[in-house]
Structure 1
Amino acid sequence: MTKQHTNTKGMSVRLLKKNKLAVCMALAITALGCSSTQQGLDNKQTQNSKPIHYQPNWQSLSQHEAAPEWFQDAKLGIYFHWGPYSVPAFGTAWYSGNMYRKGSSMNRHHEKTYGPVEEFGYEDFIPMFKAEHFDPAEWAQLFKDSGAKFAGPVAQHHDGFAMWDSQVNPWNAKDMGPKRDILGELFSELKQRDLKTIATFHHARNGQRNKHKLEKGMKDFNSHYPWYQGSPTTTNDPKLRKLFGNFETLDEFNQYWLEQVDEVVYKYSPDIIWFDSWMNMVPESYRKQMAANFFNHAQKTGQEVVTVHKHNDMPTSLSVLDFEQGGRRDLHPEPWMTDITLSQTRWMYVEGHPYKDPALVVRNMIDVWSKNGVVLLNVSPRADGVINQQQRDALKVIGDWLKTHGEAVYGTRPFDTFGYGTAGSKSSTHDGQSAKIEYTAKDARFTVSKDGKAMYVHFLGKPKPGSKVKIKALGRHRYAPRSAVQKVTMLGSDVDVKWQDDTYSFNIVMPERDLNEIATVFKLHLE
């Protein structure tokens, strides 16, 4: 190994004290001091060292730490869209609502395959949702082997069917369909494997708002099930109305929404509760009460819990912001999340739908991690409880890469810039940057260990053996704390790595062997 200009001024690594790295790094980009921000964090930690009884107001709830350290360390979680809507395996996870929208592709498919919706309704799929091959122990191990640090189900999608043993919602997996407590059984197996748990809630959209016409120009889109004269969704049947979110008043539905979240919290104690869009349609008073109930329950169980939301549905002072099928275009001082799916576009199992190249998934996840993000990856089981081989193969690729390179991911924090490259950025179909950008070895991303003893350079592809790569971002930087590189190694290999610091840029000579096809990672050992 050769080394030139070993003056410690050559490295630009933002090495700050443990647990303070993430916020301060991002602020350094704009040359702002982080003392005032850190003081705020310290005050919050001091407050949270005492028992708090949270009140249902934003000021009280903001005492809760939005993203505890374990969550920032975890980086990857897995969840799954699975329910009676998996039975037709056609269209999208919105099949349950769209089958009632006359003239839609799912309505035409439904009436051709199952008959008129007046004769075969969504409730008739539930006995067909048997989940006979569901094995919670095997699933939990699969998720752990894939590199996830937390996992759990879509507790309830827009369709109104609960995947837990519910006393609140009569339409639940324990009483009908599989006749098993899907969420409870899986949570038990996850906890035995030291994985944190997540329950996701999408049922804010289940409420029938079109019936009430409270907002001028309100569109059918704001409720999962359509409302038109003669539709089965307008039923007065006391039980069936709950499936369709069809309540006498919206306040009745809002209370029903809250009671279901509370039931999962009190009965199963999830570490994370995650909310899909449309939670803004639930009045603030219910959202505040939900958060207070969750945080106060966690005080009793000794958990450091997390809520995750989309758009402006919760304040980021107490809840983590999620970007669907995308992510941020730049590094952000606050930890954030993205939910992405392993399939090309679908969330539930759709017969014949293609899946993403796992290499593309890993590279896009590295981009998220370099920007202070956490990934929630969706898989799509079949109605019978089988996770098909294509998805299993992809999860194995992801897990194998993380087994070799995990130290550059778990427990890391961002550098003062996320990286560089030629791939650019394109918009997601939903929020922020796309999760399907085609990265190459010309794109690099950075992460730093929490203890400040190592920095990792991820090349998002296989570099050309023997080539010399210049990394200007690691050259002299006026905010650098004079840290020095002692040696450079390549994760997953014992190959000798040649490197050079010429004060203008940091240079790495690509080894002739062991370069990773998905993403090659170099570890910069710091003094």
Structure 2
Amino acid sequence: MKRNSVVGLGLCLAMLGLAADGGEHELFEPTWESLAKANTSPEWFEDAKLGIYCHWGVYSVPQNFTEWYPRFMFQDGHEVQDFHKQNYGDPAEFPYHKFVPMFTAEKFDAAEWAEVYKSSGARFGGLVAEHHDGFSMWDSRWTPWNAKAMGPKRDVLGELAAELRKRDMKVIATFHHARQFQRNQGAESVQDPADSFDSHYIYDKRYATASAEPVLQKLYGNMPEDEWNQMWLGKLEEVIENYQPDVIYFDSWLNLVPEEFRQRFCAAYYNHAARNNKEVVIVYKQDDLPADVALLDIEKGGRIEIDLKKWMTDDTVSFGSWSYTTDLKIKPAAMVVHSLVDIVSKNGNMLLNISPHPDGSIPQEQKDILRQLGDWLKVYGEAIFDTRPWTVHGFGPTKPDFGPHGGMSTINYYTPEDYRFTMSKDGKAVYVIVLGRPEPGGKLFLWSCAPHRYPLPGAVERVVELSSGRDVEWESLDTGSYLHYPDMDYNETANVFKIILK
């Protein structure tokens, strides 16, 4: 893990006037070797653990299927196209861009959103700045298809970022627009999903997705590759300069963007941060960026074991779509808490998605989940925030399935026999987090704490139940240690026992 000295040097250069925009003395050059000098995981991100963002855009208007509606409405035989024809008409007559005037966002309140985000206990927040559909949620000069010029006619990213910062939260902007470029140009029709998947929109000359009209090209991506590459990078540089996000996360298919442009983005972001006394984070998926240049994200998945390098998962509060649909099923709060605990125990951070209504209001059920998460963290957050992984992450009978995008699934049903460890970053306390309600008067055998297995980093001074400060009996044996549960009321979701070391 890189230290902060490199960024500090950049600040000194900036103060001397040697790191002006476009200057030859920029700290980072657009090469992987130079970019590998960056501190990919600053301490604030190591400590933060939890972020909240949302999928909300033009694709929310139909409230059907998922945020991939813009693709599948153009795919013959797909259920989304059937729905679209029944409710809006043939996609040749009612293409995706006709939803834009319907995306009015009349109930969007950035201050209320920021309060809801803050209620979860999260330390950073934001939204999908641009999804695969090519509609920008900020005031952009690169495309007319943006929320300030059309639809809501508001700078959504700018308003939300300002309100989050008022609440001492960092800002994340996520980008999914690597798939927006129409890579199937020249064909009469590319309806086979396997042949067209590298582009979000189905290429078909019956539809606007193949339009050569300059304004529509900016949305559907049917444009010269060089021009599109410049637009891809220009949007990012615009957001960096105008909104200064603390984290930029990329969805899949970033590998389809030419290496030169990926390198130029990374250099621009890291250099801008150095000039402005900021420590920023780049997050990617799969193998889209080098591991020593940015941090890996595992969508809806986690690590099986501890990873010594910081990582992140993006997950959502629902069992289904990332964007709002009328049939969205929301996870129980306990599942979200347990997932966060498991991720943190393995050196990860969670980026949790919510799904606002098309009008910009956040469904009450989702607000309740975030509030319940925040209520738990108010009591037990000491075992989550500002911690580091211990030697082992934990144990228990629950065996998670594999996730849909690698790693282990985040949909698990843990028991009070499952437990996780974290450690204070000063090494003076180890936390045992029991994923359920313990039996009062019972005990938990921690075989991992045997001297010949994973000894604690110091002698035990005392053990307390975190919510009450009540002393807990700790029994050390050669084969492990017993944690004796006091006879008291316990939290139904998860409970924390703090091992204080001498």
Contact 1:66 1:316 in 2 (8 A): no
Contact 2:205 2:211 in 1 (8 A): no
Does residue 266 of structure 1 match 2:225? no
Contact 2:440 2:489 in 1 (8 A): no
Alignment equivalent of 2:410, drawn from 424, 435, 444: 435
Contact 2:75 2:81 in 1 (8 A): yes
Letter in 1 for 2:238: E
Which residue pairs with 1:411 in the alignment?
A: 386
Contact 2:437 2:493 in 1 (8 A): yes
Does residue 526 of structure 1 match 2:501? yes
Per the normalisation by structure 2, the TM-score is 0.94
Alignment equivalent of 2:424, drawn from 442, 446, 449: 449
* 1:67-86 map, 5 Å: 67-86=41-60
Which residue pairs with 1:223 in the alignment?
A: 199
Evaluate the alpha carbon distance shift between residue 210 and residue 428 of structure 1 in structure 2; reply closer, same or farther with a 3 A threshold. Answer: same
Which residue pairs with 1:28 in the alignment?
A: none
Which residue pairs with 2:219 in the alignment?
A: 243
Residue aligned with 1:469, SS: strand
- How many angstroms does 1:144 deviate by? 1.0
Does residue 49 of structure 1 match 2:8? yes
- How many angstroms does 1:482 deviate by? 5.7
- How many angstroms does 1:428 deviate by? 1.0
Alignment equivalent of 1:354, drawn from 329, 352, 355: 329
Letter in 2 for 1:220: S
- How many angstroms does 1:474 deviate by? 1.4
Contact 1:150 1:196 in 2 (8 A): yes
Letter in 1 for 2:329: P
CA offsets, 1:258-297, max 9 Å, x none? 1111110011100000000000000110000000000111
**Alignment size in residue pairs:** 482
Which residue pairs with 1:291 in the alignment?
A: 266
Contact 1:75 1:374 in 2 (8 A): yes
Task: Tell me how far apart the structure 2 counterparts of residues 180 and 102 of structure 1 sit (CA, whole Å).
Answer: 35
- How many angstroms does 1:448 deviate by? 0.1
Does residue 470 of structure 1 match 2:426? no
Alignment equivalent of 1:129, drawn from 103, 125, 148: 103
CA offsets, 1:18-51, max 9 Å, x none? xxxxx7xxxxxxxxxxxxxxxxx4xx54434312
Does residue 187 of structure 1 match 2:161? yes
Which residue pairs with 1:13 in the alignment?
A: none
Letter in 2 for 1:78: I
- How many angstroms does 1:375 deviate by? 0.2
Task: Tell me how far apart the structure 2 counterparts of residues 489 and 429 of structure 1 sit (CA, whole Å).
Answer: 38
Contact 1:328 1:433 in 2 (8 A): yes
Task: Tell me how far apart the structure 2 counterparts of residues 251 and 408 of structure 1 sit (CA, whole Å).
Answer: 49
Does residue 318 of structure 1 match 2:318? no
- How many angstroms does 1:198 deviate by? 0.3
Alignment equivalent of 1:174, drawn from 143, 148, 157: 148
Does residue 337 of structure 1 match 2:337? no
Which residue pairs with 1:9 in the alignment?
A: none
The higher-RCO structure (CA 8 Å, 6+ apart) is 1
CA offsets, 1:280-338, max 9 Å, x none? 00011000000000011111211100000000011111201000011111111100000
Does residue 399 of structure 1 match 2:374? yes
Per the normalisation by structure 1, the TM-score is 0.89
Residue aligned with 1:71, SS: helix
Which residue pairs with 1:19 in the alignment?
A: none
Letter in 1 for 2:8: S
Residue aligned with 1:134, SS: coil
Moved more, 112-121 or 498-507: 498-507
Residue aligned with 2:240, SS: helix
Residue aligned with 2:284, SS: strand
- How many angstroms does 1:369 deviate by? 0.5
Contact 2:8 2:274 in 1 (8 A): no
Alignment equivalent of 2:435, drawn from 438, 460, 468: 460
Contact 1:47 1:63 in 2 (8 A): yes
- How many angstroms does 1:479 deviate by? 7.1
CA offsets, 1:139-194, max 9 Å, x none? 11111111110000100000000000111111000011000000000000011111
Does residue 233 of structure 1 match 2:192? no
- How many angstroms does 1:212 deviate by? 5.8
Letter in 2 for 1:280: N
Task: Tell me how far apart the structure 1 counterparts of residues 262 and 203 of structure 2 sit (CA, whole Å).
Answer: 26
Task: Tell me how far apart the structure 2 counterparts of residues 258 and 514 of structure 1 sit (CA, whole Å).
Answer: 55
Does residue 514 of structure 1 match 2:483? no
Task: Tell me how far apart the structure 1 counterparts of residues 9 and 452 of structure 2 sit (CA, whole Å).
Answer: 41
Task: Tell me how far apart the structure 2 counterparts of residues 456 and 212 of structure 1 sit (CA, whole Å).
Answer: 60
Evaluate the alpha carbon distance shift between residue 390 and residue 478 of structure 1 in structure 2; reply closer, same or farther with a 3 A threshold. Answer: closer
* 1:70-109 map, 5 Å: 70-109=44-83
Alignment equivalent of 1:118, drawn from 86, 92, 98: 92
- Segments of structure 2 that go 5 or more residues without pairing to the other structure are 11-25, 188-192
Residue aligned with 1:219, SS: helix
Task: Tell me how far apart the structure 1 counterparts of residues 372 and 105 of structure 2 sit (CA, whole Å).
Answer: 26
Task: Tell me how far apart the structure 1 counterparts of residues 334 and 207 of structure 2 sit (CA, whole Å).
Answer: 45
Task: Tell me how far apart the structure 2 counterparts of residues 479 and 349 of structure 1 sit (CA, whole Å).
Answer: 45
- How many angstroms does 1:469 deviate by? 1.2
Residue aligned with 2:470, SS: coil
Moved more, 425-434 or 270-279: 425-434
Letter in 2 for 1:183: L
Evaluate the alpha carbon distance shift between residue 136 and residue 513 of structure 1 in structure 2; reply closer, same or farther with a 3 A threshold. Answer: same
Residue aligned with 2:234, SS: helix
Letter in 1 for 2:316: T
- How many angstroms does 1:525 deviate by? 0.8
CA offsets, 1:227-285, max 9 Å, x none? 123222111111011100111x2222111111111110011100000000000000110
Letter in 2 for 1:269: Q
CA offsets, 1:467-492, max 9 Å, x none? 12110111214775761111111121
CA offsets, 1:403-439, max 9 Å, x none? 1011100010001111011001211122210010111
Task: Tell me how far apart the structure 1 counterparts of residues 330 and 115 of structure 2 sit (CA, whole Å).
Answer: 22
Alignment equivalent of 1:59, drawn from 22, 33, 54: 33
Contact 2:391 2:454 in 1 (8 A): no
